[in-house]
Amino acid sequence: AQKITQTQPGMFVQEKEAVTLDCTYDTSDPSYGLFWYKQPSSGEMIFLIYQGSYDQQNATEGRYSLNFQKARKSANLVISASQLGDSAMYFCAMREHNTNAGKSTFGDGTTLTVKP
Amino acid sequence: DVKVTQSSRYLVKRTGEKVFLECVQDMDHENMFWYRQDPGLGLRLIYFSYDVKMKEKGDIPEGYSVSREKKERFSLILESASTNQTSMYLCASNSQGTRNEQYFGPGTRLTVT
């Protein structure tokens, strides 16, 4: 079964608007972490934001925030005030702390295009 | 700044050749990873290493081997390249710890003809 599901292969957003990229996950490990990475067309993956399963608050990093709904097993990335430079592929990833020896599982990615 | 470098950005090899992809990180990270990235399939883990000379198979190890003789260097080896190994290969590293993100290299686009 797919451990990380990103249901939106492609998304469009108008510059300066907010956009939500969906991520759902599947795990029976009570302790895990969720990561979002950005991959511009240049190819290099860049870490954006992290959410731990026991973190009390949703993570935020500048214009990025993570809408973490534990019971629904979703960890959606919200980008506020989109910029043209946000056009990229975005990956959601999960690391299970007890069961997977430090390995991360990645989703298939969502390609975001920001329109001027 | 953490830096992960990969030996080549683009590589073209012939079927049956032995191929070496090199990855070096400069932040003394314990963990190193090799992924392949294909359209619509996301990143799939080939192998990872959590210490010198230690390695673990990932999700798709068939047709690949790895070597980690020094902490900073992790090599991916295609023993006999095949056309279905044409892909983007990404190396990553991180330090031990549950919250630690991975740092990625720029990738090697390998074409096997």
Nearest residue in B to A49, CA atom: B101
Averaged pLDDT of chain A = 93
Encode pLDDT of B46-80 as tens digits: 999 998 989 999 999 999 999 999 999 999 999 99
The answer on pLDDT for A101 being more than 70 is: no
Q: Please give the radius of gyration of chain A, using alpha carbons only, rounded to the nearest integer.
A: 14
If we measure between CA atoms, which residue out of B54, B1, B48 comes closest to residue B27?
A: B1
A89 to chain B, any CB pair closer than 8 A? The answer is no
| Rama region for B106: left / alpha / beta (φ>0; ψ in -120 to 50; rest) | alpha
Per-residue model confidence as pLDDT tens digits over A21-71? 999 999 998 989 999 999 999 888 999 999 999 998 999 999 999 999 999
> Which of B90, B102, B106 lies closest to A104 in CB terms?
B102
**Structural contact between residues A95 and A4, judged by C-beta atoms closer than 8 angstroms:** no
> What does the pLDDT average to over A8-29?
96
Say what the pLDDT of residue B107 is.
Answer: 95
Q: CB–CB of A44 and B96 under 8 A?
A: no
For the stretch B67-72, contacts whose Cβ atoms lie closer than 8 Å and that sit 24 or more positions apart, written own/partner, are B68/B32, B71/B28, B71/B29, B71/B30, B72/B24, B72/B25, B72/B26, B72/B28
Whether the pLDDT of residue A1 is over 60: the answer is: no
B41 close to A (CB below 8 A): yes
What pLDDT was estimated at residue B2?
Answer: 66
| Cα A71 to Cα A48: distance, rounded to the nearest angstrom | 23
> For residue A103, how many other CB atoms are within 10 A of its CB?
17
Residue B31 CB contacts under 8 Å (≥ 6 apart), including other chains:
A102, B48, B49, B50, B93, B94, B95, B96
- Nearest neighbour of B41 by CB, restricted to A43, A95, A108: A108
* CA-based torsion, B107, B95, B74, B84: positive or negative: negative
Mark yes or no for CB contact A44/B104 under 8 Å: yes
Tell me how many degrees the CA angle B1-B34-B85 measures, rounded to the nearest 5.
Answer: 135
| Euclidean distance between CA atoms A37 and A77, whole angstroms | 10
Q: Is A25 on the interface with B (CB under 8 A)?
A: no
Output b/e per residue, A11-30; b: 16+ Cβ within 10 A. eebeeeeebebbbbbebeee
Contact A49, A36 (CB under 8 A): yes
Average pLDDT over residues B82-96: 94
For the stretch A44-53, pLDDT in tens is 899 999 999 9
Spell out which residues of chain A touch residue B107, defining contact as CB-CB under 8 Å.
43-44
User: Is A64 an 8 Å CB contact of chain B?
Assistant: no
User: According to the model, what pLDDT value does residue A2 have?
Assistant: 64
Pick among A36, A103, A105 to test the B interface (most B CBs inside 10 A): A103
Q: Which two tokens stand for residue B70?
A: 């020094």
Q: Does B2 touch chain A (CB under 8 A)?
A: no
More confident residue, B51 or A83: A83
